[in-house]
Amino acid sequence: MGLFKNRLIVALPLIVIAVIFIFSLAMIPSINPVSHHLPIAIVNEDQGLTASNVNMADTVVSNIQSVTSANSDGEPAMKWIEVGSEEEVKAGLDNQEYYAALVIPEDFSEKQASLMTPDPSSSRVRIYINQGMNASAPSMAEQMLDQAIRGMNEEMRAELLAIFDQQGAAITTKQAAAFASPIVSEVIHANAIGTHSANGNSPVLMFQPLWMASLIANVIFLLVKNKSNSANRNERLRANIVQVFWGAVIALIAGFSFTWFAESWGLHISHFMDTALFLAIAYLAFFLMIAAVFSWIGLKGMVIFVLFLFFGAPLLSFAPELLSPFYRDWILSWLPMRFLVDGLRELFFFRQGLSMNHSTIVLIWIGACGLLVLLASAFKHSRQPEQKQEVEIAHNL
């Protein structure tokens, strides 16, 4: 057949395998996420027993740290951070310093000692889960802390029963009830995600429409600019300036319309104006970045941003501590859409209004660099052969 005389047709199986291989790499972070040095705060306010100079909370802390010390890769699963007070912990949770916190009150040892008396009382600890910080890592921290507490309860229950058995003493109803849970944990959700938030994934869900809108707008701009065939530097500079100003107008339209759509579809938007303006900033940053790349290499640049989409989307829902060093340091750390997701998370779950925080500043810098590169492209040499191909595409449209 004549088709098989074409080299591309013959090489198609290898091309398909290569494409599958490249895009399958995006699956790796989701296959077996394990925690690496997940920051967990711990507050030990236990006063101990003055008579025997014993602090039972120290033993509890040591045991919890040991049972949660390693993940399946043999690395520390949690990074325990000692904090002075519960108030400091709450401030750290609001500043996104910890995914969870364990607070041991001052009467912990006293309550533990009471288990051997006729009037027993279970010790209580408080576990704070920083829900808004990530959709998966806080839940993982909660499970690990819960398992650690349950494991300690089983050990303490066995020890208490063994002591009573050796003494030949009878266990009262109150003691039996206390032995069931020598340590009672109270779980408190800090920066709660609430309802209508896609289980905390709403910031991740919102990046794709904004990203695709900025990409498609730039494709249209590139085709129209090439169709006008501006060979003069001044004409190209004017066209780029018009693109920047029109992009800013579109950014405002995109920000407010997207926020209205999201709220209409049922997503909880606590700060409508701040969210709309932040989305406008993010759209303009992406728009200028894509425009800058297109202005130098044309439609071939679309491959870069499509790959960004496929590789970035699976990573954005994971906390950095759940990723391998390669994906955490070499991909997630510089993904431009990560700053959109982080900024939306602060707006949605941390009750922070629009401000010049880290995410906003980075997006502004991305837009500023894109603006400079886009304007500079007006002074490069004309790409006539490539422009002719893109002009043909524009004519076909």
Kindly write down the DSSP assignment for every residue of 279-312, as one continuous string.
HHHHHHHHHHHHHHHHHHHGGGGHHHHHHHHHHH
Residues 180 and 245 in one domain: no
Average pLDDT estimate for 305-309: 89
Residues 277 and 330 in one domain: yes
Residues 346 and 217 in one domain: yes
Average pLDDT estimate for 242-247: 95
**Residue 278 pLDDT class (50, 70, 90 cuts):** very high
Residues 239 and 105 in one domain: no
Average pLDDT estimate for 118-127: 92
**Residue 45 pLDDT class (50, 70, 90 cuts):** very high
The pLDDT of residue 164: 85
**Residue 186 pLDDT class (50, 70, 90 cuts):** very high
Q: Give 51-61 pLDDT, tens digit per residue.
A: 666 778 888 88
Q: What percent of the chain has pLDDT over 70?
A: 91
What integer best gives the mean pLDDT of the chain? 87
The pLDDT of residue 3: 64
- Cβ atoms of 99 and 80 within 8 Å: the answer is no
Residues 12 and 145 in one domain: no
Average pLDDT estimate for 137-154: 90
Residues 267 and 364 in one domain: yes
pLDDT surpassing 80 at residue 362 = yes
Tokens of 393: 């595409």
Look up residue 308 and give its amino acid.
F
Residues 175 and 62 in one domain: yes
**Residue 387 pLDDT class (50, 70, 90 cuts):** low
**Residue 392 pLDDT class (50, 70, 90 cuts):** low
Half-sphere exposure of 32 (CA within 13 A, CB side): 3
Average pLDDT estimate for 29-50: 85
pLDDT surpassing 90 at residue 29 = no
The pLDDT of residue 363: 97
Tokens of 6: 């074409």
The pLDDT of residue 54: 72
Q: Which domain holds residue 312?
A: 198-396
Residues 83 and 61 in one domain: yes
Residues 280 and 384 in one domain: yes
The CA–CA distances, whole Å, from 136 to 102, 275, 345 equal: 18, 23, 14
Which tops the pLDDT comparison, 18 or 216? 216
pLDDT surpassing 60 at residue 331 = yes
Average pLDDT estimate for 301-329: 88
Average pLDDT estimate for 301-323: 88
Q: What percent of the chain has pLDDT over 90?
A: 52
Residues 349 and 203 in one domain: yes
Total domains in the fold of the chain: 3
pLDDT surpassing 80 at residue 124 = yes
The CA–CA distances, whole Å, from 179 to 121, 146, 169, 182, 283 equal: 9, 17, 15, 5, 58
Residues 179 and 215 in one domain: no
Final residue before a domain boundary, out of 139, 166, 190 = 190
Residues 291 and 278 in one domain: yes
Ranges 20-24, 162-166, 174-178: which has the least confidence: 20-24
Task: Decide: pTM greater than 0.85.
Answer: yes
**Residue 226 pLDDT class (50, 70, 90 cuts):** confident
Ranges 163-167, 297-301, 367-371: which has the least confidence: 163-167
